[in-house]
């Protein structure tokens, strides 16, 4: 465990995450995978701490994953449900967050349909010197860091089950297929995959993948303390059809296609989308023989991917992604909780084993 290096109070975006930080999250997550393979899957790390899940946008999957991660760290959890909230009574989002702060929340996990809300709340917490960590669980079309980090863990586990490290991703080809433009999952994955040395190939119709979009991710990454020459070049490639994107790909990530894209006139029909960009047994043949498929879920079977591929355990990493999610979220809450209390000696999982 090398979490003594961890200095980030909030996790809002992966844009400036360094390889050392990815490695730290990865190794901490691997430790928690060890915890989760035991019969008693709990550690007392966050006992007496409060994790508030402020999901202004409804969610079952991600909220349950964070809730379970918090409970397995022995934290108490508070769930905010937008339907019955003070927001309908005219309260501002910042006032809602400050209310949860005043109740004694230690960590806030925030999802909102507008980009920037978690960042704004994090700034306000810092202005108030609250010592509270904010984790972005998806903000509009901006970012979804914990999803990209669980994808990272899933990829590294697949490449090197014994001793996964981000170096395993070096030079690997990852294709991301689907509604890139509107996807917070794609954005966060672009930052993480390129920082870890993978080459990312994006495939979508032009309406869902403007050329300028990909260019925005081509900025080099200069890890703290490194020289300009040591900067990591981010490798992103754009494809407006599927076959070249899939060619020799080590991994394919299908993105969820939201039905509202039809009414936005960005796509003619689901059927045409599936014909041109849906993953099928036939198209997968362009990929490397060892290719694995990921999907952040929930899946529209028969649109982004055929049912047959989804259910093929030799191809699909979808279940592994969900399982990785709990371990990664435990790791993130643990690292943020440790950063909060600035313990001089690192909190080790060894000590936690005595639950």
Give contact residues for a copy of itself (rule: CB under 8 A). 36, 38-42, 47-50, 58-61, 64-65, 67-68, 71-72, 76, 78, 80-81, 83-86, 89-92, 95-96, 98-104, 256, 259, 297-301, 318-323, 325-326, 341
Q: In whole angstroms, how close is the CB of 337 to a copy of itself at the nearest point?
A: 11
Angle between helix 145-159 and 19-36 (nearest 10): 70
Give the residue with the Cβ less far from a copy of itself, 60 or 344.
Answer: 60
Give the residue with the Cβ less far from a copy of itself, 86 or 241.
Answer: 86
Number of H helices, E strands in the chain: 13, 9
- DSSP 8-state code for residue 74: T
HEC secondary structure over 220-244: CECCCCCCHHHCECCEEEEECCHHH
Instruction: Supply φ then ψ for residue 322, to 5 degrees.
Output: -65, -45
Element (H, E) at 92: none
Q: Is 15 helix (H, G, I), strand (E, B) or coil?
A: coil
Extract the tokens encoding 147: 């999803």
Angle between helix 184-195 and 145-159 (nearest 10): 50
CA triple 249-178-197, angle to 5 deg: 40
Is the sign of the CA dihedral 176, 178, 184, 187 positive or negative? positive
Calculate the alpha carbon distances from 281 to 74, 315, 336 in Å.
Answer: 43, 10, 42
Q: In whole angstroms, how close is the CB of 279 to a copy of itself at the nearest point?
A: 16
Kindly give, in sequence order, each residue whose CB lies less than 8 Å from that of residue 207, ignoring residues fewer than 6 positions away: 181, 266, 267
Q: In whole angstroms, how close is the CB of 287 to a copy of itself at the nearest point?
A: 23
Q: In whole angstroms, how close is the CB of 310 to a copy of itself at the nearest point?
A: 8
Give the residue with the Cβ less far from a copy of itself, 150 or 214.
Answer: 150
Give the residue with the Cβ less far from a copy of itself, 131 or 223.
Answer: 131
**How many Å apart are CA 175 and CA 294, to the nearest integer?**
10
Give the residue with the Cβ less far from a copy of itself, 227 or 269.
Answer: 269
Tally of CB atoms within 10 A around 316: 18
Instruction: Supply φ then ψ for residue 243, to 5 degrees.
Output: -65, -45
Give the residue with the Cβ less far from a copy of itself, 150 or 209.
Answer: 150
Of 38, 33, 47, 2, give the one whose Cα is nearest residue 20: 2
Extract the tokens encoding 74: 């022995």
**How many Å apart are CA 209 and CA 226, to the nearest integer?**
32
Give the residue with the Cβ less far from a copy of itself, 161 or 225.
Answer: 161
Give the residue with the Cβ less far from a copy of itself, 16 or 76.
Answer: 76
Q: In whole angstroms, how close is the CB of 24 to a copy of itself at the nearest point?
A: 23
Q: In whole angstroms, how close is the CB of 67 to a copy of itself at the nearest point?
A: 7
Give the residue with the Cβ less far from a copy of itself, 135 or 326.
Answer: 326
Q: In whole angstroms, how close is the CB of 174 to a copy of itself at the nearest point?
A: 21
Distance of CA 173 to the CA centre of its chain: 19
Q: In whole angstroms, how close is the CB of 60 to a copy of itself at the nearest point?
A: 4
Q: In whole angstroms, how close is the CB of 354 to a copy of itself at the nearest point?
A: 14
């Amino acid at each position: 465990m090398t979490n003594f290096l961890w200095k980030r109070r909030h996790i809002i975006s992966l844009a400036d995450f360094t390889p050392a930080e990815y490695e730290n999250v990865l190794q901490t997550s691997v430790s928690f995978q060890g915890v989760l393979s035991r019969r008693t899957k709990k550690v007392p790390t966050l006992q007496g701490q409060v994790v508030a899940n402020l999901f202004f946008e409804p969610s079952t999957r991600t909220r349950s994953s964070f809730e379970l991660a918090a409970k397995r760290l022995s934290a108490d959890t508070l769930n905010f449900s937008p339907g019955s909230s003070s927001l309908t009574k005219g309260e501002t989002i910042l006032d809602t967050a400050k209310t949860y702060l005043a109740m004694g929340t230690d960590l806030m996990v925030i999802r909102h349909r507008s980009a920037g809300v978690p960042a704004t709340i994090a700034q306000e917490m810092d202005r108030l010197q609250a010592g509270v960590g904010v984790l972005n669980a998806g903000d509009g079309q901006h970012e979804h860091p914990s999803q990209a980090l669980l994808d990272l863990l899933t990829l590294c586990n697949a490449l090197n089950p014994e001793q996964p490290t981000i170096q395993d991703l070096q030079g690997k080809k990852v294709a991301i297929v689907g509604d890139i433009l509107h996807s917070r999952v794609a954005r966060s994955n672009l930052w993480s995959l390129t920082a870890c040395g993978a080459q990312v190939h994006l495939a979508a119709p032009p309406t869902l993948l403007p050329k300028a979009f990909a260019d925005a991710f081509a900025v080099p990454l200069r890890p703290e303390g490194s020289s300009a020459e040591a900067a990591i070049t981010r490798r992103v490639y754009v494809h407006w059809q599927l076959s070249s994107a899939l060619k020799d790909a080590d991994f394919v990530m299908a993105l969820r296609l939201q039905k509202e894209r039809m009414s936005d006139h960005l796509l003619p029909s689901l059927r045409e989308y599936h014909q041109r960009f849906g993953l099928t047994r036939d198209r997968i043949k362009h990929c490397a023989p060892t290719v694995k498929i990921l999907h952040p879920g929930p899946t529209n079977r028969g649109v982004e991917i055929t049912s047959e591929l989804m259910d093929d355990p030799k191809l699909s990493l979808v279940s592994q992604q969900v399982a990785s999610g709990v371990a990664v979220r435990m790791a993130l809450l643990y690292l943020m909780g440790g950063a909060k209390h600035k313990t001089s000696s690192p909190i080790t999982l060894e000590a936690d084993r005595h639950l």
